[in-house]
Structure 1
């Protein structure tokens, strides 16, 4: 009776045990993928099988459904359950795909979601307690973790080593992809599109990929592709900008294709599931990158004005920067813009900004050549005195150093197109050659022309060569220097709209000669006398705080002190071309006669003789003198002309030798030496000159009424 009862109730007990048991998979591995099947290795366990040892077989395997869709069939290995403990499962069977469309949908779901549930259904046989029970229904749900769209994707390294042979820029990405699912999949070769800011900017791939649970190292290689649209190029530029400036950029990697290997066609259900999978990937910015290593200002122009003395206009026709990029692909600079703050030591001095300007240079040479148009050079508030001192040091010293901090933006030609790279920060030291007080080469007076005079000054026009060894060009407006001779002030030297250029400067200068005071007049008279007789003189040109109204240049110009040689007057003729004496019968009794001269004006302006005092000698013997006031009727001599003066009163000192000389003169060979003090007016400037001339051709005639 009991065996019969067991046979009746055993199937119910077996069914209940199977139904009440729990089936779980702890891991699964999919390999040897094909269109119709793949090998599926699972690890798991069966629990809750009851107090009896049982052997469970599913001869025809189980139908696998997901979301009420039949997706495949999976054979199951024999399960041997122990009393109260169940059984461990280690199985490797071929999974047959029954519905490729549904299976593709399942894989999409598995890739994106946290977990999924399979429903397994089949007919099992159970052998327990010596009974072999058939027709037991196996119906189980198995839940496993999904891949959650791979929430942990990390780029370990990024490189762009070269131009890609197919166009664009070769890229190499070493990454770690975290798979939170217990499912491992033998994928093969993968290809992804790289998307940034809504644009496909590149494509990368990996070969022989098996996706395992946990971290997966993926070595991706590919390229950034050439771009045609402004928007896409802007996206590439932003990507490079963020990397170079140390900022993170969030990109998207979009699955494009998967196939077992390069020679195999894609597996339709896997391709369908894989394509379009979008992963968010953060490209971390480069660390401690120094893109710009040096800046050399080959030429700097500063244009000052009195309205805004501490905001001169600055420009440069030549600026060179040393640079490098952390990549190997070729990059050619096209344009560059800059925002620069300059420091004198650690103190902020000034700032300037220049818009995009043409640039040349490439990553191979590591040099950028550029320039910038006039832009305000803004001295920092509170740094005015510092800038005054800087200007002085630039004027006097061999060189001055500056620290330059700023941000540069560039437009560069790359294998993907012209891109704008923004926010390149730099901090470099640069050196400007100093002006060295304009003393590296002598100041040379090339020409000197007396052009006229005012009531206060004689006006002299000079052409002077100054040499500026610096690469700084300075526009200063009108500047005024003191003119010195024998340390006495002679007047002023005026340089109108003075521009001190680099190198040799030929400067037109106006000198105002007008010494004041006894000592200055004495020295000035000597200077003028030497000039008239053609003798060169060493003069000084000295600056002062009054040299310019432009405050930041006052200390600099006040420190300037030059010496130069002022050449003597070069005249094609002597001032006295000929002298004429006239005596009469009474001369021997009253020692009176008359004299006139042919006077030449070597100046470039009309001169007037206002008075003349002269001593006349023949071979060291004085024969007479003249003391004539001409102020009522001056002798007027136009520039470059010779004028015969009216007769002057001649006081003769007749000696034996003098008489002999006079008689000799009748033969026409009398030569006299004349030493004169002449009061002259040059324009409206009145002064006296001491003038001596030897061997003046002199003729003797009879005076009227004598």
Structure 2
């Protein structure tokens, strides 16, 4: 070994270092090797060194190792590849086919016959392996159900990729066992689910190889049609009357929900309709199709027969009432025949469809709003304190739009309603009338006209305050909008019989003119002072309460407060013994209890009344103006303008008079004895307790009567006062006045007397109503001719 090392070249030195594991393995140090190489001593030992180096390599770094591996691999592949292709791959494909899944999303049947039909298929395959493959069906697929072979069908090849494949095919399904298929058809239409078993032999092309004779057995769990348990009505029409009074044409557009992936073209289908055991009629659908796994629109047309039996009529009435009211009435449809080509029936299909009964809920998809646009042309409400919150309502004319969703002849024999008044989104009261009498209804043109007989208007227990506000708004406002809602009932002649339609809902806004009370001018006429007590004067008068609306209100006694409009001072109460406000002027008999708190205002009112002046008034209500609780809020809002007229024409209270004086009287105490004739223009006794009268002649003061006496003047009567003293002015000037003006103007005064016109300014102390009447002071001015004479 040592001699071989001496012949290493410089190159071998580097190889040696590069291939050795470590310096410790070398027989010489690097420096010694380098020296030896320079002398050339290592050259003769190169081959021996290569052998040493070769022995020190790892096994996987040797070429011999890799040569052996390649030889082994070639032998392995030569054995495995044929084994894979001819033995393993077919078994692997079978395993994949066995583990794959198959689903059917739709299988629609057309051109149905007793032995075959065309089918269009859509579905999919899952878990089909990781390799792209093409599945081919060289043999028909056999479809079995519960151990019976139903039929067979060919299928086109399917390409799988990424473990899935889509099935989309159109083929022919050939029935193998007609009886079994009929039984299956019957069950499939009524049950929730079923299982088909598909068997066949397929071939799979994958990895460039075609694997034949692969067995296919798949169970398909599919939904059944479940009796079409979700049939809906999209529209229900009666286009017209059937001929010869046999009933009414009917047209139904239905949606038959088919949860099963199996669909079928039914062609012409005939059904019998029933409701609660009553036969309704027969309908037919042409071009009927059940689409798999989808709602199927279907139009059914036929005739609803005329009913004559009362029990059947009651059931039809219930059916129509429920439908018109927006409810759901469950009818049933029983199959009569199915003819796919419109002429010939297919037994297995007919048996299947005829074995089930379709439940068809008759319900309109939209609100029908049969009764609309209600207008109350007039309304009368009678309130009575003995029946609180239960006034009586009536109307001469109520109109309503009437629109049935049917184009059939309808004759309205009677109408009744349960109506509620809704105000500010709250139900206030119900009107429950047994019969609303018809007036001039025009049903063909959709107009109902009827009147409401007097009926209770029952206010809800929780709506007393709101109803009071409703009455108030109708009383005060020029117009008011509210809502009426409820249920209508009618007895109607129709092509299917005389039907009692009930509980048909309606809702409509109604706008009525209000009384607009506060805008009226309450004209007062025929004022009569009819009595008096120590506390007040009673005046009877007629007050006009004009009503521009068609609303009538009748109530019990109403008391309003009267104020002087100019000063807003209290005058008394206006009593309406029985309120009855109807459309029009409403002249109303009232009583005015006159007892102002201000004496000056009291005297002014009476004085102006006697001389024919109008006294402006303000008449207002308050909560306790009436004992009718429903009207209290309304009365508290009343504020009317009015005026109390005076006597017309105004009378002269002094009708005559005499004045007796002498020269001594004039020159002495300056007193004249006068007697005055007076009248009482009132319809009650007038008790006079005295007067203060200023007498003037042509603007010259003539004297004063200041007398206290007692005198009662009968109603509309007259009387002379007792002798009264007219006190003339003192002083020389009055004598000059007599000598230079009065006597020269009326010289006959000194020669037996003559009529002289004097101006009288009277303050008359009275009691209206007699000696125990209401006290007042009447201020009165008048010019009166008084027979005046002067003696020596």
Give the structure-2-normalised TM-score.
0.62
Q: Is the Cα–Cα contact under 8 Å of residues 753 and 790 in structure 2 kept in the other structure?
A: no
Q: Is the Cα–Cα contact under 8 Å of residues 618 and 673 in structure 1 kept in the other structure?
A: yes
Paired residue for 1:163?
240
Cα distance change of structure 1 residues 175 and 545 upon mapping to structure 2, 3 Å threshold: closer
1:151 Cα shift?
6.4
Q: 2:768 aligns with which of 675, 682, 698?
A: 682
Paired residue for 1:239?
319
Distance 2:555 2:484 in 1: 25
1:614 Cα shift?
1.3
Distance 2:173 2:759 in 1: 139
Paired residue for 2:724?
648
Q: Deviations over 1:664-705 (max 9, x none)?
A: 5567442121111112232222322111112x12213579xx
Paired residue for 2:574?
493
Paired residue for 2:464?
384
How large is the Cα RMSD of the aligned pairs?
Answer: 4.6
Paired residue for 1:410?
490
1:90 Cα shift?
5.8
Paired residue for 1:21?
none
Range with bigger deviation, 447-456 or 212-221: 212-221
Q: Is the Cα–Cα contact under 8 Å of residues 252 and 278 in structure 1 kept in the other structure?
A: no
Q: Is the Cα–Cα contact under 8 Å of residues 635 and 645 in structure 1 kept in the other structure?
A: no
1:30 Cα shift?
11
Distance 1:295 1:28 in 2: 53
Q: 1:663 aligns with which of 735, 747, 765?
A: 747
Paired residue for 2:523?
444
For residue 587 of structure 1, give the secondary structure of its aligned residue in structure 2: helix
1:445 Cα shift?
1.2
Distance 2:785 2:264 in 1: 124
Give the structure-1-normalised TM-score.
0.69
Paired residue for 1:515?
596
1:362 Cα shift?
4.6
1:374 Cα shift?
3.9
Distance 1:177 1:371 in 2: 45
Q: Deviations over 1:558-604 (max 9, x none)?
A: 22222212211014742222222223464333333322233233222
Cα distance change of structure 1 residues 676 and 156 upon mapping to structure 2, 3 Å threshold: closer
For residue 378 of structure 2, give the secondary structure of its aligned residue in structure 1: strand
Q: Is the Cα–Cα contact under 8 Å of residues 416 and 488 in structure 2 kept in the other structure?
A: yes
1:408 Cα shift?
3.0
Cα distance change of structure 1 residues 174 and 351 upon mapping to structure 2, 3 Å threshold: closer
Q: Is the Cα–Cα contact under 8 Å of residues 269 and 286 in structure 2 kept in the other structure?
A: yes
Distance 1:232 1:89 in 2: 46
Distance 2:627 2:327 in 1: 49
Q: 2:558 aligns with which of 454, 472, 479?
A: 479
How do 1:297-308 and structure 2 match up within 5 A?
A: 297-308=376-387
Q: Is the Cα–Cα contact under 8 Å of residues 609 and 635 in structure 1 kept in the other structure?
A: yes
1:420 Cα shift?
2.4
1:114 Cα shift?
8.3
Q: Is the Cα–Cα contact under 8 Å of residues 662 and 700 in structure 1 kept in the other structure?
A: no
Cα distance change of structure 1 residues 227 and 644 upon mapping to structure 2, 3 Å threshold: farther
Cα distance change of structure 1 residues 153 and 530 upon mapping to structure 2, 3 Å threshold: closer
1:312 Cα shift?
3.3
The answer to whether 1:539 aligns with 2:617 is yes
Cα distance change of structure 1 residues 498 and 183 upon mapping to structure 2, 3 Å threshold: closer
1:530 Cα shift?
1.0
Cα distance change of structure 1 residues 202 and 525 upon mapping to structure 2, 3 Å threshold: farther
Q: Is the Cα–Cα contact under 8 Å of residues 249 and 303 in structure 2 kept in the other structure?
A: yes
Cα distance change of structure 1 residues 652 and 153 upon mapping to structure 2, 3 Å threshold: closer
The answer to whether 1:608 aligns with 2:687 is yes
1:318 Cα shift?
3.2
1:469 Cα shift?
3.3
Q: Is the Cα–Cα contact under 8 Å of residues 28 and 40 in structure 1 kept in the other structure?
A: no
Q: Is the Cα–Cα contact under 8 Å of residues 598 and 645 in structure 1 kept in the other structure?
A: yes
The answer to whether 1:693 aligns with 2:782 is yes
Range with bigger deviation, 147-156 or 379-388: 147-156
1:216 Cα shift?
8.6
Distance 1:233 1:546 in 2: 55
Cα distance change of structure 1 residues 527 and 354 upon mapping to structure 2, 3 Å threshold: same
1:643 Cα shift?
3.3
Q: Is the Cα–Cα contact under 8 Å of residues 29 and 42 in structure 1 kept in the other structure?
A: no
Q: Is the Cα–Cα contact under 8 Å of residues 438 and 467 in structure 1 kept in the other structure?
A: no
1:156 Cα shift?
4.4
Q: Deviations over 1:33-73 (max 9, x none)?
A: xxxxxx954579xxxxxxxxxxxxxxxxxxxxxxxxxxxxx
1:474 Cα shift?
2.5
Paired residue for 2:504?
424
Cα distance change of structure 1 residues 378 and 533 upon mapping to structure 2, 3 Å threshold: same
Q: Is the Cα–Cα contact under 8 Å of residues 332 and 362 in structure 1 kept in the other structure?
A: no
1:461 Cα shift?
0.8
Distance 2:108 2:477 in 1: 78
Distance 1:27 1:627 in 2: 124
Distance 1:659 1:444 in 2: 51
Q: Is the Cα–Cα contact under 8 Å of residues 201 and 232 in structure 1 kept in the other structure?
A: no
Q: Is the Cα–Cα contact under 8 Å of residues 575 and 592 in structure 2 kept in the other structure?
A: yes
Larger Rg: 2
Paired residue for 1:100?
none
How do 1:115-514 and structure 2 match up within 5 A?
A: 154=231, 156-166=233-243, 167=245, 168-175=247-254, 194-205=273-284, 219-253=299-333, 279-291=357-369, 292-359=371-438, 361-362=441-442, 364-439=444-519, 441-485=520-564, 486-514=567-595
Q: Is the Cα–Cα contact under 8 Å of residues 155 and 173 in structure 1 kept in the other structure?
A: no
Q: Is the Cα–Cα contact under 8 Å of residues 623 and 658 in structure 1 kept in the other structure?
A: no
1:285 Cα shift?
0.7
Distance 1:661 1:470 in 2: 66
Q: Is the Cα–Cα contact under 8 Å of residues 400 and 449 in structure 2 kept in the other structure?
A: yes
Distance 1:188 1:398 in 2: 64
1:336 Cα shift?
3.5
Distance 1:544 1:208 in 2: 76
Q: Deviations over 1:58-109 (max 9, x none)?
A: xxxxxxxxxxxxxxxxxxxxxxxxxxxxxx99699xx9xxxxxxxxxxxx99
Cα distance change of structure 1 residues 480 and 582 upon mapping to structure 2, 3 Å threshold: same
How do 1:32-111 and structure 2 match up within 5 A?
A: 41-42=115-116
Cα distance change of structure 1 residues 575 and 230 upon mapping to structure 2, 3 Å threshold: farther
Paired residue for 1:566?
644
How do 1:550-589 and structure 2 match up within 5 A?
A: 550-571=628-649, 573-584=651-662, 586-588=664-666, 589=668
In structure 2, stretches of 5+ residues that fail to align are 1-106, 119-171, 190-223, 730-734
Q: Is the Cα–Cα contact under 8 Å of residues 241 and 409 in structure 2 kept in the other structure?
A: no
Which one has a larger percent helix, Structure 1 or Structure 2?
Answer: 2
Distance 1:408 1:27 in 2: 48
Distance 2:249 2:510 in 1: 35
Which one has a larger percent strand, Structure 1 or Structure 2?
Answer: 1
1:496 Cα shift?
0.9
Q: Is the Cα–Cα contact under 8 Å of residues 621 and 635 in structure 2 kept in the other structure?
A: yes
In structure 1, stretches of 5+ residues that fail to align are 1-25, 32-38, 45-87, 96-107, 116-146
